[in-house]
Structure 1
Amino acid sequence: MSSIDSCNAELRELSIKIHDHPETMFEERYAHKVLTEFMEAHGFSITPHYLGLETAWRAAWSNVSPSSKKSVRTIGFNSEMDALPEIGHACGHNLIAMGGVAAALGTKYAMEKCGIEGRVVLLGTPAEEAGNGKIILIKRGAYKEMDACLMMHPTPGPKLSAGTGSSLAIQPIEVEYFGHPAHASGAPWEGQNALDAAFLAYSSISVLRQQMKPTHRVHGIVEGRDWAPNIIPDYAKMRWLVRAPTAKEVEVFAERVKKCFEAAALATSCQIKLVEHPLVYDLRQNDELASEFAAVMKHYGGVVIADVPGAAGGSTDFGNVTYELPALHPSFAIPTVKDGGNHTRQFTDSAATKEAHAIAISVAKCIALTGLRVLIDGDFYARVRISPLPLPPDDSIPPSAC
């Protein structure tokens, strides 16, 4: 993987550009520009605004002899680009974007040097944090050309460690309450208090937590208009995330959560509107890819553990990718301060350090080497394919995901 080392300074610059120019979901125009220009400069064919998503893109390179009669395989990699509101790249997506680029470049140069036939595809996918960009791209066929897909994600954790554990499935739900305004002192009985409905739902969910399994999570916020204390609020909005270890468990748990919303509307005589966004599945790591990645990491002085401590409790739309084809999504530890894990300002700072970059480069080499084995070792790929894909819950990707 010396080719990745030769591009190290460029890759560092690319990562910092994205880090210092944070863009939230579906707004990743600068990242789209700098990443596609970089890949094109390194010999990849670019499809910008891929499959109708303005900030999605595809970079592809192939080494297929015109006289070859055998079928060749396609290895896929994934780069995320979006930042979080207010706190920037607090989930290290600048490292994910750069890592996908590095893995694709390393794979390409190894194929050129060794005469390996096959194809390399790198997808730039927007809106992982909230917009579920990969779910949209799955529905539009973005991953169908790949025989396997790999990506990487930073987290706090033990030095030189990576994890190939699962993630939580997640159901995003938006709730709106519609009431009737009234003078809060003069005629409060004429009002229907939408804010009361929101608070009642919030309290009901807090009570529900007593009966939740330890592995389940539900958390949300209240939004609304500019309320005034002397007016009965006629509108309130809430955004909630319901999580559990598997998609099936989320579906069951979400029904209990929705009853809290509905009961609050009934108690306050408010109207309710519920919107369930696409269900994000749990990660189902491919066992053969995970085993190969662990072996490569060990060769380079790292260690793969079942779950990196800092990675527990998160969710990713790459989980849906793992239900579609053989895939791997290792988390890797970068140096952070105490209580400075993902989605904190401290992690934003950590994602820009030279130490984090060096670790990301090492992990990018490991996923590149894992992907190369898919291309060159037919027996290994056969074992990868034999690993069963999980069955998604029925009707869990609604038409709105398109």
Structure 2
Amino acid sequence: MQSQEDDQQFDCAHIDMRPCCQEILKMGRPPSYEHDVQTLWRPEVLDTIKKAVDGLSDELRELSLKIHDHPEIMFEEKFAHDTLTAFMEKHGFEVTRHYLGMETAWRASFTHSKGHGRVIGVNSEMDALPGIGHACGHNLIAVAGVGTAIAIKVALKKHNIPGTVVLLGTPAEEGGNGKGILIEKGGYDGMHACIMCHPSVGPKNSTVLGTTLALTSINVEYTGHTAHAAAAPWEGRNALDAAFLAYSSVSMLRQQIKPTHRVHGVVYGDNWAANIIPDKSRMRWYIRAPTWNEVQELRARVLKCFEAAAKASACELKIELGDVNYELRQNPVLGENFVSAAGEGLGMEIGTVGEPRASTDFGNVTYFCPALHPGYGIPTVPDGGNHTPAFTKAAASIEAHKVTMSVTKALAHTGIRVLDDDDFYKEVKDSFTASQ
């Protein structure tokens, strides 16, 4: 897996975003799992969690709005880093700032009954989008992670459950593969499972367990030779022609790829002028498919388009393969507890989803350990979905906060069951092993 330095060689990379959200929620029958949920596990623990989250709600609302009002793009989440770590310290967590050498990553942990029990991981995302702020609701994801971790802490102490909760502040979901970098650095080592959530467009008080597309990026650079475009164009080798040939070739390739596959890219250049044959052009591409294996197969076909364009234009070609986001693999055993807590325990509607249309670096976490990433609906206007200014406004609404608190409770209930229920965790682990 490539590090963020590979992408930062292009000045344009910091504005090149990919959608990370779950697709639009559609109401229907709840997702089916291998095991039927008969009754809510330990309702008294859920009651403890409810009281803890309700008691925190006003503080979490204030925290969410602070982050919403100070949007920071990937790897620049300094205000969020400082604000969230101070909050976790105030609530009795052991905090590590600038975790594993990443300036805006952080870790907050709490252990009850040291030396015993499992470790449940939780994620808080923080980054915003250039120009439109928190249009993917990461301010809500941040406080959902905070609330989940603190509620688990409260329940561990009250019910004398041994275990550890670790909350990671994960930078750069929007194009920087922050979680992938943290995995490589050992940030997820020792976790028995990991959980988080994500807002999207959907019916009121609804949640859903869907998947996402696997994704990889490609940086392309063509090098030709400058010449006067009128006086001696035959002396030039046109790098812009190479980029256009490649773009057209990929566009024609799309007719022959599956409906579930996606290829999309942009062309960049510096100091181009109409009377100069361009000697440099750059492109950035994303390739997505339902599985990583399909992404690799499609990437091989796309690379041939780039190579053919280089030959046709007599330009030199440089290709750098970027980060990998694997498809999201929801752990079905974690999922069935979440559905039980959200539906039976909290009265939320459980949705179903269609084909995946987006990607997230949390997919890499689901390959590393058993993990869960439910989506949930917040109210917004028509055509006001994720990555729009309307969604930025929606992410600051009181309605969005309320449903975030409900999902937080269901996540905390699921997380603490990992720590307390040996049979449950064995099923979680066995399911994860079987999916590998």
TM (norm. structure 1) is 0.93
Match of 2:93 in 1: 44
Query: In structure 1, what is the Cα distance between the partners aligned to 2:435 and 2:424?
Result: 23
Match of 1:297 in 2: 342
Counterpart of 2:71 in 1: which secondary structure? coil
Q: What does 1:240-259 align with in structure 2 at a 5 Å threshold?
A: 240-259=285-304
CA contact (8 A) 1:325 1:389 kept: no
Query: In structure 1, what is the Cα distance between the partners aligned to 2:96 and 2:363?
Result: 24
Percent identity over paired residues:
58
The answer to whether 1:184 aligns with 2:184 is: no
Given residue 347 of structure 2, which amino acid in structure 1 is its aligned partner?
G
| Deviation, structure 1 residue 125 | 0.6
Match of 1:398 in 2: none
Query: In structure 2, what is the Cα distance between the partners aligned to 1:349 and 1:188?
Result: 51
Counterpart of 2:231 in 1: which secondary structure? coil
Match of 2:393 among 310, 334, 349: 349
More displaced stretch, 159-168 vs 123-132: 159-168
**Divergent runs of 4+, >4 A:** none
| Deviation, structure 1 residue 391 | 7.2
CA contact (8 A) 1:24 1:127 kept: yes
Q: 1:9 to 1:211 in 2, by over 3 A?
A: same
| Deviation, structure 1 residue 102 | 0.7
The answer to whether 1:364 aligns with 2:408 is: yes
Counterpart of 1:267 in 2: which secondary structure? helix
TM (norm. structure 2) is 0.86
Match of 2:380 among 336, 358, 372: 336
Match of 1:157 in 2: 202
Higher relative contact order (CA 8 A, sep 6+): 2
| 1:349-368 CA distance string (max 9 Å, x none) | 11111111111111011100
Query: In structure 1, what is the Cα distance between the partners aligned to 2:391 and 2:308?
Result: 39
Query: In structure 2, what is the Cα distance between the partners aligned to 1:171 and 1:332?
Result: 26
Q: 1:319 to 1:36 in 2, by over 3 A?
A: same
| 1:108-146 CA distance string (max 9 Å, x none) | 111122222111100001111111011111111111121
CA contact (8 A) 2:369 2:432 kept: no
CA contact (8 A) 1:149 1:325 kept: yes
Q: What does 1:164-243 align with in structure 2 at a 5 Å threshold?
A: 164-243=209-288
Query: In structure 1, what is the Cα distance between the partners aligned to 2:190 and 2:283?
Result: 39
Q: How many residues align?
A: 386
Counterpart of 2:325 in 1: which secondary structure? coil
CA contact (8 A) 1:284 1:390 kept: no
Given residue 321 of structure 2, which amino acid in structure 1 is its aligned partner?
E
Match of 1:395 in 2: none
For the aligned residue pairs, the C-alpha RMSD in angstroms reads 1.4
CA contact (8 A) 1:170 1:281 kept: yes
| Deviation, structure 1 residue 388 | 3.1
Match of 1:314 in 2: 358
Query: In structure 2, what is the Cα distance between the partners aligned to 1:65 and 1:147?
Result: 16
Query: In structure 2, what is the Cα distance between the partners aligned to 1:358 and 1:154?
Result: 12
Runs of 5+ unmatched residues, structure 1: 393-402
Match of 2:428 among 384, 387, 392: 384
Match of 1:57 among 103, 106, 113: 106
Query: In structure 1, what is the Cα distance between the partners aligned to 2:212 and 2:364?
Result: 11
Counterpart of 1:388 in 2: which secondary structure? helix
Counterpart of 1:273 in 2: which secondary structure? strand
Given residue 322 of structure 1, which amino acid in structure 2 is its aligned partner?
T
Q: 1:186 to 1:360 in 2, by over 3 A?
A: same
